[in-house]
Amino acid sequence: MKTWPIPLPALAACLVVWTWPVAVRATAGNPIADALDRWDLAAAQAWIDQADPSGRSRSLAGVRGAMLFLQGEYEAAETVLAAADDADATTLRARVRDTRAVTAGLATAWSPSRRFVARFAPGPDEAVLPYMLEAAEAAFDVLSARLGMTVPVPVRIEILPSIDALSVVSATDRGDLVRSGAVAVADFNKLMVLSPSQLPHGYPFADTVAHELAHHFLTVRAGHRVPVWFQEAVAKYLEPAWRGASPGTLHRSLAELLADARAGGRLVRFDELRQSLSRMPSPERTALAFAQLSSFAAFLVRTEGDDVLSRMADEFRVGDEEVAVLRATGKTLDELQAAWLRAYDAEGRPADTGGVRGILVRESGPPEATLSTAQAALLRLGDLLRRRGHPGQAAERYARIVVPGAHPLLVARLASAWNEAGEPARALAALDRAGLDEVEWAMLARERGRALVALGRHAEAEAPLLAAVRTDPYDPGTHEALARVMAALGRPAEADREQRLAAMWR
């Protein structure tokens, strides 16, 4: 299993422009090509039926196969593509065959509204479903309102059981995924998401599906002519809105990373942002790109109006990048970038709250690497005491090394030991002193939620426990705590669900 750094940066999405069969590319302005470029399958089907009422044309077999692929009918697509008579259809058939092989064992689940259908590996990933589909449903409403549009339903989501499976299904180079830290891709009329089980502490998969859904909306609106930088700017800007956060809200480490890069002259150049962010050289560089683009999108909305993102998307559909930006805003892209940097500099550096920045923690390695020899000995003694059933004594040792600026995983270990010792107030005090971003560091949110439940503060416990489970849905203790919260808040159906999920690992 790939040992991914934590907390994972905002997730890269790749919009892969894939090869259509020759019949689709035959003429400029081909209506079938335009419809398929925007995943308007109803319009494409109408044009195909008009062009080939009998359904027997070999020249259109590749198009029909592509349609079936975009609908998720992989076996039928492979059969139809076998009858096509062009090389592109042969290439597409190989992709369909590989996709069918990787997804053959996946089960199917629908969201309550039936606007989403998810495929997943039976077993632990059942714990992902309720939270991912909840986020998808909320994000659908937010995106529809903010972009003034909707998309055909159901939207398909594939939860892939490994990075290799994600690479195959998304047609994205595995090395690119690993180097950039990308764990999700929006293309081929679906969202493709890596199982959180493949990372040691999970990753924020609920925010990820909201991010990818924004890509899906933009592609339906304007096709693949939308520049990568704009796709990622909009997706990252709108990513947190589904859970009630303000658009453009960045985790502390991302805000600090952006401030450091601006001060040090290390911002990502816009010409680097014209290719898929899955090709970034490192997760840190990917994270910086997302922070920049989210900030730029927020600036555009603030200065050019709430509908500027929709206006720009519409212009990208019909014109090249520079002309589209100028028509939508009256300014060139260079002018807008310069204005954004002036505004960013005028706002000043984000306030330093004394917390540890996630990006720097990733660079420094495991928590043990941050300790002196004496502190490392205390940590080992604390772990030994905890294993022998003395969590209170372990917590006292941990407390001697959890000083201001301590690694978040050490803070989590201290809070967890106090919770195990039946000292929830001391767990909360340790978390409060650390002052970390607990949405970003989900293991801290989990311990806060557990402590609040133990103190009977159920309404306060809901938000941190949900933040935890939306990153790591496999911890039975989190589900047990959520079950108590839901029961106390008079939500028996959700309490039953959490009890069921908690029992999966017994």
Confidence bin at 11 (pLDDT 50/70/90): very low
- How much is the pLDDT for 87? 86
Bigger pLDDT: 141 or 271?
141
Q: What is the pLDDT of residue 107?
A: 97
CA neighbor of 224 nearest in space, from 28, 25, 36, 23: 36
pLDDT for residue 486 is more than 90: yes
Residue 26: pLDDT above 90? Answer: no
Q: Is the distance from CB of 431 to CB of 408 less than 8 angstroms?
A: no
Three-state DSSP string of 244-275: CCCCCCCCHHHHHHHHHHHHHCCCCCHHHHHC
User: What is the strand order of the sheet 116-120 is part of?
Assistant: 107-110, 116-120, 155-160, 190-194, 184-187
pTM: 0.92
pLDDT in tens, 139-194: 999 999 999 999 999 999 999 999 999 999 999 999 989 888 889 999 999 999 99
Mean pLDDT of 366-383: 89
- Model confidence at 297: pLDDT above 90: yes
Q: What contacts 390, CB < 8 A, 6 or more positions away?
A: none
78's tokens: 């492979």
Closest CA to 351 of 247, 494, 255: 255
What confidence score (pLDDT) does residue 350 get?
57
Average pLDDT, the chain: 89
Residue 30 is predicted with a pLDDT of 80
Please determine, for residue 96, whether its predicted confidence score (pLDDT) is greater than 90: yes
The answer to whether residue 364 scores a pLDDT higher than 50 is no
Q: What is the pLDDT of residue 346?
A: 94
Q: What are 205-233's pLDDT values in tens digits?
A: 999 999 999 999 999 999 988 999 999 99
Q: Which amino acid is at 195?
A: S
Q: What is the pLDDT of residue 111?
A: 97
pLDDT of residue 388: 97
Provide mean pLDDT across the span 383-394: 97
pLDDT for 23: 57
Average pLDDT, stretch 284-298? 94
Decide if 147 contacts 309 (C-beta within 8 A). yes
Instruction: Give 108-134 pLDDT, tens digit per residue.
Output: 999 999 999 999 999 989 999 999 999
Amino acid, single-letter form, for residue 9: P
Which is more confidently placed, 456 or 224?
A: 456
pLDDT of residue 279: 82
Confidence (pLDDT) at 235: 97
Question: Which of 73-82, 138-147, 348-357, 455-464 is least confident?
Answer: 348-357
CA distance 71 to 40: 11
